[in-house]
């Protein structure tokens, strides 16, 4: 397998507290990786460092063999890193199609891909509806479509199933399996059903550090993870 993303001793502090504390992390191309851990474990800060929303204090980030540690966020998008938090602000008065077109146009991608992307996420039939009129679950899918419009090499999703119904969660799982055929996925998720069904490997964070990594089966049976996170 080819290493897509690597962090080395990645560190970031806020007010004297190390939110991310010397994290070494490797993500392979084509992987679905879940990032889990209790609230305050450092997950969102970690992916914010990767996408450039938060500046690195120390350590390095390597993407496809290139050091991007100090690269601005918009240039990381152009390299193929899409983070839903950067592009989830839908424009409620624009149509679904216009939202997706706008996301693609921001980084110079062809707007014509909008309908193809909306077909992939199952929203082509409501392409001309105002995004603000959609149910919450459909708005979440619009956000994912906006990310896919960037044609990313890496798609980072932060709590994408939050607020979704059971049926919508099942549809999301099917969607991500399809997306993963051409895009590497890094997924922050609290829904353990989603994590266990989707992830090839799981990284568990606690107090800014990596507590454990492994397959879903390995993580499920890891005693340290059970004590720290899974409630056993």
More confident residue, 72 or 164: 72
- Which pLDDT score is estimated for 86? 47
Which residues are CB-neighbours of 28 under 8 A, at least 6 positions away? 1, 2, 3, 4, 184
pLDDT band at 115 (very low <50, low <70, confident <90, very high): confident
CA distance 35 to 43: 7
Which residues are 212's β-sheet partners?
204
The model's confidence at residue 88, banded by pLDDT at 50, 70 and 90, is: low
Residues 15, 17, 22, 24: what is their CA dihedral angle, to the nearest 10 degrees?
-100
Asked if the model's pLDDT at residue 105 lies above 80, the reply is: no
d(CA 8, CA 24): 5
pLDDT exceeds cutoff 90 at 202:
yes
- Contact (CB, 8 A) for 35 and 194: no
Residue 43 has pLDDT above 90, yes or no: yes
Ordered structural domains, the chain, with CATH: 1-79+185-232 (3.40.50.300)
Residue 199's contacts (CB-CB under 8 Å, 6 or more residues apart) are 32, 33, 34, 187, 216
**CA 35 to CA 41: how far, in whole Å?**
10
Average pLDDT for 57-82: 96
- Name the burial class of residue 183, with classes exposed (0-12), middle (13-18) and buried (19+) by CB atoms within 10 angstroms of its CB: buried
């Amino acid at each position: 397998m080819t290493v897509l993303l690597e962090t080395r001793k990645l560190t970031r502090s806020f007010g004297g507290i190390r939110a991310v504390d010397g994290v070494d992390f490797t993500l392979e191309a084509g992987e679905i990786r879940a990032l889990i851990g209790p609230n305050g474990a450092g997950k969102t800060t970690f992916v914010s460092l990767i996408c450039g929303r938060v500046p690195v204090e120390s350590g390095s980030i390597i993407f496809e063999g290139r050091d991007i540690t100090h690269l601005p966020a918009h240039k990381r998008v152009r390299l193929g890193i899409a983070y839903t938090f950067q592009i989830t602000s839908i424009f409620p008065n624009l149509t679904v199609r216009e939202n997706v077109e706008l996301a693609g146009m921001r980084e110079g991608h062809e707007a014509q891909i909008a309908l193809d992307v909306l077909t992939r996420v199952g929203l082509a039939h409501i392409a001309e509806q105002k995004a603000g009129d959609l149910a919450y679950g459909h708005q979440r899918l619009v956000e994912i479509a906006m990310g896919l419009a960037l044609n990313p090499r890496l798609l980072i999703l932060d709590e994408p199933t939050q607020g979704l119904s059971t049926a919508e969660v099942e549809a999301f799982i099917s969607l991500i399996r399809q997306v993963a055929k051409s895009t590497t996925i890094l997924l922050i998720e609290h829904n353990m059903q989603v994590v266990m069904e989707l992830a090839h490997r799981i990284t568990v964070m606690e107090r800014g550090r990596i507590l454990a990594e492994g397959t879903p089966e390995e993580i499920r049976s890891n005693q340290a993870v059970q004590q720290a996170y899974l409630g056993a």
